[in-house]
Amino acid sequence: MNSAQNSPAKGIGSQSRSSSPSRMVILIANSKGGCGKTTIATNLACYYEALGRQVSLLDMDPQQSSLQWLKLRRDTTIRGLGWPAGEPVSLGRLQQKLDQAGPITIIDSPAGLDPHHLDHLLRLSQVVLVPVLPSPIDIRATTRFLQTVMLAPSYRRRPRRLAVIANRSRTRTRMYESLRQFLASLKIPYLVTLRDTQLYVQAMSNGEGVLDVAVSRHLDDQQHWRRIGEWLEVQRHLIQTMPGFR
């Protein structure tokens, strides 16, 4: 991949580079493990890199999968930030990490965050993206997690921009229909349904994102990330108009 600072990836749309944008912290979170937080975080980082944005990826998961992916990525401008295993999630330490980051920071959070630590992350984030899988266990876990988010002191004082992404879904299945009904019942934006495809596994193993794969049969998958990016851009502009939100 060529340096995104020199030539943004083609086909991403008419969105232009932004010079010195205000800081935006995007938290990828769900209490349930294995729901695709790292997939969302890494592909979103690719999206911003392809636009020529300065983007940092803070990997707080003990497995450090996002940073392992980043090490495989060639000629990248994405800045990786790790979180030492076993280190408590304190507000001060989080702020120090964000001070090292660029204008856009994506946080790949660990599963099983307790409400106190989650509140710290919410306090420093402007947007929360919640991936969910089409299974009864995941739907129940995500329902509880969304309730925890909305009851967190930081969220109650100043609600964050919150959205759900359906991950690894096959649209012609009974489980997907259950997920669709669940998402329709939420008063929370539901952005896209990501396909259940080996494309994401293959891209991850090569240090790539879906937007790096210039193959025509993957255009639908690439369009999902453009849609997510466009929604986030709208939120960024809204956030800038909200006094005290940042």
Q: Is it the case that residue 11 has pLDDT exceeding 50?
A: no
Residue 109: the pLDDT is: 94
Which range among 32-36, 67-71, 81-85 shows the weakest confidence by mean pLDDT?
32-36
Per residue in 98-125, pLDDT (tens digit) is 999 989 999 999 988 899 999 999 999 9
The stretch 214-235 carries a mean pLDDT of 83
CA–CA distances in Å: residue 131 to residues 56, 165, 169:
20, 5, 11
Catalogue all structural domains in the chain, each as residue range(s) with its CATH number: 24-240 (3.40.50.300)
CA–CA distances in Å: residue 60 to residues 37, 41, 56, 89, 157:
11, 11, 13, 9, 25
Q: Is it the case that residue 2 has pLDDT exceeding 60?
A: no
Q: Is it the case that residue 17 has pLDDT exceeding 60?
A: no
What span, in angstroms and rounded, lies between the C-alpha atoms of 235 and 127? 8
Residue 24: the pLDDT is: 92
Q: Is it the case that residue 16 has pLDDT exceeding 70?
A: no
Q: Is it the case that residue 214 has pLDDT exceeding 70?
A: no
- In the chain, the percentage of residues whose pLDDT exceeds 90 is 46
pTM: 0.84
CA–CA distances in Å: residue 124 to residues 18, 152, 223:
22, 13, 29
Per residue in 131-185, pLDDT (tens digit) is 988 777 888 888 889 989 999 999 999 888 999 898 876 656 676 677 677 777 7
- In the chain, the percentage of residues whose pLDDT exceeds 70 is 83
